[in-house]
Amino acid sequence: MNVPKPADSLAGQLCPACRKGHFALVQINHTEELPQDNPVTLRAIWVDRCDSCGETTFPAETVQFIEAAVAEQTEQLAPRDLQICRENLEVETQDEMSEILGLGSKTFHRWERGHQFPNRSMSYYIRVLAEFPQAFEWLRARAWRNKNRIANPDAVKELAAMFPDLAAAKKTTTHRDQFQLQSSQPKRNPARGLIRVAFSTK
């Protein structure tokens, strides 16, 4: 991967840290530490470094280069890949794609612009959806909301297969057992709570 030389640089400006030296655009080897992955070492990237105290800053173009290199190393999707996925799935806007995937409203926008990158698991997830458009349409329609397992007659067979002991117990229950269960319940006095009236004869 070619390392681009930044167009915008602090070269020649006074260093705010030491107030003595000036920044110069130089190339260094840089190791990017990743929280859940192996570190990525990048060679000969461009940075602004003070010629007196060594204060170092990363130009915006260098930061984008590092993020792209890390994305490639960790199998994250690059901005162009994300755009191709979205267009192939016939989603018009980045905001709509964020909504379908259940992300923040501007998340996919930041990914596609290269301001941020999706993590490895999300990249795998998007790759699967791009490879299987039917799964993506199922996700887009939120089809699970319309799936009622109780109303589905096949669900009864599935439950019987999952819980054979309960299914067998239900079959062996007799009408007498049901009557005993009902009769064992305490009976309620229908007259309870009524006002008692005393009648006397003369």
What pLDDT, in 10s, does the model give residues 147-195?
765 555 565 566 677 667 765 665 554 545 544 445 455 555 555 544 4
- Domain-embedded: residue 163: no
Higher pLDDT, 38 or 142: 142
Asked if the model's pLDDT at residue 26 lies above 60, the reply is yes
Burial class (CB in 10 A: 0-12, 13-18, 19+), 89: middle
- Domain-embedded: residue 191: no
Adjacent-strand bridge partners of 30:
42
Residue 45 near residue 30 (C-beta atoms within 8 A): yes
CATH code: domain of residue 68:
3.10.20.860
Higher pLDDT, 79 or 59: 59
Q: Which residues of 154-176 are buried (b: 16+ CB within 10 A; e: fewer)?
A: eeeeeeeeeeeeeeeeeeeeeee
pLDDT at 101: 95
Higher pLDDT, 201 or 51: 51
Tell me: do 42 and 94 sit in the same domain: no
| Cα distances (angstroms) measured from residue 185 to each of 170, 176, 177, 192 | 20, 15, 13, 17
Domain span including residue 109: 79-145
pLDDT at 202: 47
- Domain-embedded: residue 49: yes
Tell me: do 63 and 84 sit in the same domain: no
pLDDT tens for residues 76-132?
888 889 999 999 999 999 999 999 999 988 999 999 988 888 888 899 999 999 999
Q: What is the dihedral of CA 59, 65, 70, 75, to 10 degrees?
A: 150
- Domain-embedded: residue 199: no
Structure tokens at 186: 């305490």
Asked if the model's pLDDT at residue 24 lies above 50, the reply is yes
pTM: 0.47
Tell me: do 111 and 70 sit in the same domain: no
- Domain-embedded: residue 187: no
Adjacent-strand bridge partners of 191:
none
Query: Which sign does the torsion angle of CA 84, 90, 93, 96 carry?
Result: negative
Mean pLDDT is lowest, of 1-5, 11-15, 110-114, for: 1-5
CATH code: domain of residue 104:
1.10.260
Tell me: do 11 and 43 sit in the same domain: yes
- Residue 4 φ then ψ, to 5°: -75, 145
pLDDT at 16: 95
Higher pLDDT, 153 or 59: 59
Nearest to 62 by CA among 18, 105, 30, 20: 30
| Domains contained in the chain, number | 2
* Number of CB atoms found within 10 A of residue 179's CB: 10
CA distance 92 to 74: 28
Tell me: do 32 and 101 sit in the same domain: no
Structure tokens at 151: 């109303």
- Domain-embedded: residue 185: no
Asked if the model's pLDDT at residue 25 lies above 90, the reply is yes
pLDDT at 192: 52
* Number of CB atoms found within 10 A of residue 184's CB: 7
Tell me: do 93 and 46 sit in the same domain: no
- Domain-embedded: residue 177: no
